């Protein structure tokens, strides 16, 4: 699912003031200059006082100048700049880190002059407080609209700034705007089109009143109580800088409105709390609201508590007490799930049903008030959408806060919260990050796949999240696809064999384990054919392959792309996500149709023919890609069988449009009831009605040695030894090893995309061990030079770790700024080291890289894929603690012109065939054709008696014998039967697999 940067902006007062209006009122302090742009503040960076630029990539930071202007609002110079921003970019003034932070608390706000371009675009303005310096502080944000021309003074009271919920440079400090510890400001310029700007005279203005530094808050927005219980609302006074209040603060309260009836459901309450002058910050008082026991069953009822505050800033919203629903059949956990669903469904309104079918981004709902207003059924965190600080405790606290909001709805239907935990809990800093799926496929170890799923589920559920948008069951048919590493491989039989991961995530296929504190609901994605999209067929931005068109015959669709979904359904998969891509079935007369609108596939094949009983969740804003107007989008997707719509920021439009379409008869009530029943069924199975809040008892195991041991094993088993001239590997600890290359000591490159952020990033951003660190921990005698600039004399062997930098989805498509060639720096490192000594080259990447032109100069070659956080697993096979056992999950091409190239192709002449993988520390059988025939006969006999384990071992012996003979003599005549043999092995035709290996042996 694609993820875009999030921005939450507060309200903003803008004013056009004449120059004379800058004079301050008699009792106001004089304005305090922050930036005059006359040259008093240099262009610099932390830790010095200065102005500097930043952006999402090298092209995005704006250019800045101090420019002489006769029309400057103040002085002779103004700050000017030009920009052309694709992602995000802007500039910052950070105060010197070596000096004390600034105190702005005496002022009402901050203002500056802006030269308008009347382009209607929003300019984000932020201030920084707390922490150690400007780059380790909290960000508070708002924005103004450039809808004017000429100079205008933008005036922002400090009360307009909101804490950024989507991004903070460090962990949260106190989430309180600390005007006594300010570190500067920042401006985020508009992305998407070229522009220029001019700015002048940033200054503090006005006199602060107490309400700017004192605020009243309640400890929760919602207070659920059982009928007859008493709610206790804790009201706290807080001040900036923890100073006592100078003047009294009063809080008048009264229960009024809501769905509960005063006198029958609760005792009306009113009164006034007083915090006298001199009251310290943090002082709290309590309001009690008694409820009454009423006879019979009833839905939840609300009692708003209106608060009127003088002398301080009031809470952003009034709290409400909720009398819990009680006595209704759906609340009885002893009833079968089917009866509970039927009872609840019968009570729900159309608006409530529409809400259950709606999923919003957590960054879009802010504090969460809309959860109850729109009866939302689900929230998600997109890639990089994390709480601050990004800790297990903060995740659980955030999600519990959202779940609390759902308790203010009539039937208190809990939310189901989802994340893309595609290789471990990859949004969480410090989590255990597994190899991406392509590496798991290389392991050929279904038990290991299940173990990685179990670790992921345990870490995800321990943070309060019951739903994982994984695994990807795509069958990757073209390595130019930016998502190819999310696939277990190019052979549907391999993908099916790795679907044991579903049991790791969900537990037993009948769903009985879903309520456990270490299991999550899994998602099979992306239905169907996403791995078959043709290069050049995408119409999404600059993508070349992702979200494009898959053109197949009906038989190819069944054999290649649908097969893994049948297996997933049999394994009890809870949810399925359609693909962004279009499907064009040759001869069906429909042409290319977006999968979210293909009712023949979602309703017809998945639900009816395969018998899928879970629910279908759309991809991120995917319905927006359907033809027609928005109502048509909604109607097409829902009628095609999509049960819940991921509409991150348009959740209000979706739920309203859905209800309108039902009222107009264009979507049937029967279809809505089917969708909601499917969703509620999974919520009941997950135990969310009984336990909606996070069970953090397993949080101690997040990133634990036991979990990292699984990831380390997965990293080791994923390593594929493609070439091992002279038996160079494994290395000896006595050897002096020269290590070079861009990916030897880079945890971000090693973990790849979908790690902390959607696209991932180079560098150290989570906890783990790089390959270099793993080699040193293994006891290796290692010298490291990233660019191979250190002299190369005197070493026994070189290890050059090269490959890709992180990417995700279509951003990583070949032709969209990416290629299958090593970078110039990586090529130079390989050339220098391999010319000076025996060398092993490790390729850390999400897909094969084209190295045929250097293969003769490389002694040993390893496909390391994206091994995750445990680089010690790679070191384990390099130094012989574990054997190399991995096999290619995809064909390794000789050139890009061969693509797409896959096992089973009529013409098949790769660099290394599918299934190839040398081994170490393993006895390879001796002999020739006679030995192979004997192995074939034994494999056939074992196959007949149903002994899969013995059959696989026999085929493996035959494969190793053939590989030993082949060495570097790979030809088309050898490659095709060799690859076919691995496919036959995975489909249980063991005797025929050995037969193909005999054919390959004879052709060598």
Q: Which residues are catalytic?
A: 619, 809
* Residue partners of 179: CB distance under 8 A and separation at least 6: 103, 104, 105, 129, 158, 208, 212, 213, 240, 241
* Residue partners of 536: CB distance under 8 A and separation at least 6: 544, 545, 548, 815
| Tokens 């106001």 found at | 28
* Residue partners of 638: CB distance under 8 A and separation at least 6: 357, 645, 658, 661, 667, 671, 672, 675
Q: What angle do CA 592, 598, 602 make, to 5 degrees?
A: 140
Of 226, 306, 313, the residue nearest 258 (C-alpha): 306
Asked if residues 655 and 365 have their Cβ atoms less than 8 Å apart, the reply is no
Residue 420: count of CB within 10 angstroms of its CB: 24
Of 752, 680, 640, the residue nearest 521 (C-alpha): 680
Q: Report the C-alpha gap between 563 and 529 in whole angstroms.
A: 11
* Residue partners of 295: CB distance under 8 A and separation at least 6: none
Q: Report the C-alpha gap between 643 and 367 in whole angstroms.
A: 26
- Using the 8-state DSSP alphabet, how is residue 225 labeled? E
Calculated CA dihedral for residues 351, 356, 359, 365, nearest 10 degrees: 60
β-pairing, 301-310 vs 378-381, is unpaired
The token pair at 800 is 């050059």
* Residue partners of 945: CB distance under 8 A and separation at least 6: none
828 by Cβ neighbours in 10 Å (0-12 / 13-18 / 19+) ranks as middle
Q: Report the C-alpha gap between 71 and 256 in whole angstroms.
A: 56
Q: How many residues does the chain have?
A: 1004
| Tokens 């880190």 found at | 97
| Tokens 């999404």 found at | 540
Q: Is the preceding peptide bond at 965 cis, omega within 30 degrees of 0?
A: no
Spell out the SS3 assignment of 268-326.
Answer: CCEEEEEECCCCCCCCEEEEEEEECCCCCCECCEEEEEEEEEECCECCCCCCEEEECCE
Could you give the C-alpha distances from 578 to 261, 599, 809, 962, in angstroms and in order? 46, 11, 15, 41
DSSP string, 932-966: HHHHHHHHHHHHHTT-HHHHHHHHHHHHHHHHHHH
Integer-rounded Cα radius of gyration of the chain: 31
Q: Report the C-alpha gap between 64 and 197 in whole angstroms.
A: 10
Calculated CA dihedral for residues 161, 164, 165, 166, nearest 10 degrees: 140
199 by Cβ neighbours in 10 Å (0-12 / 13-18 / 19+) ranks as buried
Asked if residues 211 and 251 have their Cβ atoms less than 8 Å apart, the reply is no
- Using the 8-state DSSP alphabet, how is residue 729 labeled? P
Q: Report the C-alpha gap between 339 and 331 in whole angstroms.
A: 11
* Residue partners of 850: CB distance under 8 A and separation at least 6: 820, 821, 822, 893, 894, 895, 896
| Tokens 């009143």 found at | 209
What are residue 989's DSSP bridge partners? none
Q: Report the C-alpha gap between 575 and 382 in whole angstroms.
A: 17
Within its chain, how far is the Cα of 766 from the centroid?
Answer: 14
């Amino acid at each position: 699912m694609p993820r875009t940067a999030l921005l939450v902006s507060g309200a903003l007062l803008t004013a056009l003031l004449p120059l004379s209006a800058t004079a301050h009122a008699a009792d106001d302090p004089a304005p305090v200059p922050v930036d005059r742009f006359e040259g008093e503040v240099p262009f610099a960076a932390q830790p010095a006082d200065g102005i500097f630029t930043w952006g999402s990539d090298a092209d995005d930071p704006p250019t800045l100048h101090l420019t002489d202007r006769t029309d400057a609002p103040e002085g002779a110079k103004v700050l000017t700049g030009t920009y052309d921003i694709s992602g995000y970019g802007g500039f910052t003034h950070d105060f010197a880190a070596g000096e004390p932070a600034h105190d702005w608390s005496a002022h009402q706000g901050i203002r500056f002059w802006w030269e308008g371009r009347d382009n209607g675009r929003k300019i984000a303005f932020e201030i920084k407080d707390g922490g150690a310096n400007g780059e380790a502080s909290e960000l508070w944000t708002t924005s103004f609209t450039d809808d004017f021309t000429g100079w205008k003074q933008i005036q922002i009271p400090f009360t307009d700034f909101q804490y950024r919920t989507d991004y903070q440079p460090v962990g949260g400090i106190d989430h309180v705007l600390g005007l006594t510890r300010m570190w500067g400001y920042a401006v985020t310029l508009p992305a998407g089109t070229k522009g220029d700007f001019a700015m002048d005279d940033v200054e503090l203005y006005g006199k602060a009143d107490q309400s700017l530094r004192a605020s009243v808050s309640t400890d929760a927005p919602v207070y659920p109580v059982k009928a007859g219980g008493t709610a206790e609302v804790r009201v706290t006074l807080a001040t900036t800088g923890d100073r006592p209040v100078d003047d009294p603060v009063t809080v008048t309260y009264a229960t009024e409105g809501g769905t509960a009836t005063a006198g029958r459901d609760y005792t009306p309450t009113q009164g006034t709390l007083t915090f006298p002058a001199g009251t310290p910050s943090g002082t709290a008082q309590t309001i009690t609201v008694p409820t009454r026991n009423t006879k019979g069953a009833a839905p939840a009822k609300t009692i708003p508590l209106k608060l009127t505050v003088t002398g301080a800033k009031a809470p952003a919203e009034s709290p409400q007490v909720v009398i819990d629903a009680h006595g209704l059949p759906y609340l009885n956990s002893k009833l079968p799930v089917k009866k509970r669903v039927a009872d609840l469904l019968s009570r729900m309104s159309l608006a409530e049903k529409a809400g259950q079918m709606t999923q919003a981004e957590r960054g879009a709902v802010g504090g969460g008030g809309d959860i109850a207003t729109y009866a939302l059924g689900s929230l998600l965190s997109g890639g990089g959408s994390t709480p601050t600080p990004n800790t297990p405790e903060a995740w659980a606290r955030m999600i519990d806060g959202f779940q609390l909001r759902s308790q203010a709805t009539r039937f208190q239907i809990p939310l189901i919260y989802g994340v893309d935990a595609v290789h471990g809990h990859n949004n969480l800093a410090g989590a255990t990050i597994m190899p991406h799926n392509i590496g798991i496929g290389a392991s050929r170890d279904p038990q290991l796949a299940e173990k990685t799923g179990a670790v992921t589920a345990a870490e995800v559920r321990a943070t309060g999240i019951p739903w994982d948008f994984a695994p990807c069951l795509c069958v990757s048919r073209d390595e130019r696809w930016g998502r190819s590493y999310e696939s277990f491989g190019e052979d549907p039989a391999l993908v099916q064999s790795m679907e044991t991961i579903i049991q790791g995530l969900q537990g037993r296929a009948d769903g009985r384990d879903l309520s456990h504190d270490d299991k999550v609901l899994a998602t099979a994605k992306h239905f169907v054919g996403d791995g078959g999209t043709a290069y050049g067929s995408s119409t999404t931005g600059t993508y070349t392959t992702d979200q494009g068109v898959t053109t197949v015959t009906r038989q190819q669709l069944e054999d290649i792309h649908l097969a893994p979904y049948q297996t997933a359904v049999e394994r009890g998969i809870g949810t399925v996500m359609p693909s962004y891509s279009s499907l064009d079935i040759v001869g069906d007369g429909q042409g290319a149709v977006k999968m979210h609108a293909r009712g023949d596939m979602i309703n017809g094949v998945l639900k009816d023919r395969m018998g899928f009983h879970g629910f279908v969740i759309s991809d991120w804003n995917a319905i927006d890609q359907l033809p027609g107007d928005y109502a048509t989008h909604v109607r097409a997707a829902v009628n095609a069988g999509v049960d819940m719509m991921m509409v991150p920021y348009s959740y209000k439009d979706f739920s309203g449009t859905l209800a309108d379409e039902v009222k107009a008869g264009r979507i049937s009530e029967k279809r809505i009831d089917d969708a909601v029943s499917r969703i509620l069924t999974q919520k009941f199975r997950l135990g969310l009605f009984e336990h909606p809040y996070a069970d953090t008892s397993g949080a101690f195991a997040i990133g634990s040695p036991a979990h990292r041991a699984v990831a380390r094993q997965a990293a080791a088993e994923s390593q594929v030894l493609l070439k091992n001239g002279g038996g160079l590997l494994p290395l000896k600890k006595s050897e002096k090893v020269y290590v070079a290359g861009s990916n030897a000591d880079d945890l971000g490159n090693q973990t790849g995309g979908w790690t902390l952020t959607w696209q991932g990033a180079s560098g150290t951003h989570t906890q783990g061990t790089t390959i270099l660190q793993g080699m040193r921990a293994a006891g290796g005698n290692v010298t490291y030079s990233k660019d191979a600039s250190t002299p190369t004399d005197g070493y026994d062997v070189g290890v050059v770790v090269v490959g890709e930098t992180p990417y995700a989805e279509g951003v990583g498509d070949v032709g969209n700024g990416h290629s299958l060639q090593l970078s110039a720096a990586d090529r130079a490192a390989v050339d220098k080291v391999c010319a000076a000594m025996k060398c092993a080259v490790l390729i850390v990447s999400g897909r094969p890289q084209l190295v045929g032109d250097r293969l003769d100069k490389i002694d040993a070659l390893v496909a390391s894929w994206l091994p995750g956080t445990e680089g010690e697993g790679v070191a384990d096979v390099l130094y012989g603690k574990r054997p190399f056992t991995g096999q290619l999950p995809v064909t390794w091409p000789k050139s890009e012109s061969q693509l797409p190239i896959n096992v089973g192709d009529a013409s098949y002449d790769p660099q290394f065939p599918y299934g190839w993988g040398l081994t170490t520390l393993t006895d390879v059988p001796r002999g020739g054709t006679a030995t192979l025939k004997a192995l074939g006969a034994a494999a056939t006999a074992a196959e007949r008696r149903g002994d899969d384990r013995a059959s696989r071992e026999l085929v493996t012996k035959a494969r190793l014998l053939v590989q030993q003979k082949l060495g570097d003599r790979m030809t088309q005549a050898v490659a095709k039967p060799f690859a076919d043999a691995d496919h036959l092995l995975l489909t249980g035709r063991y005797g025929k697999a050995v037969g193909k290996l005999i054919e390959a042996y004879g052709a060598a």
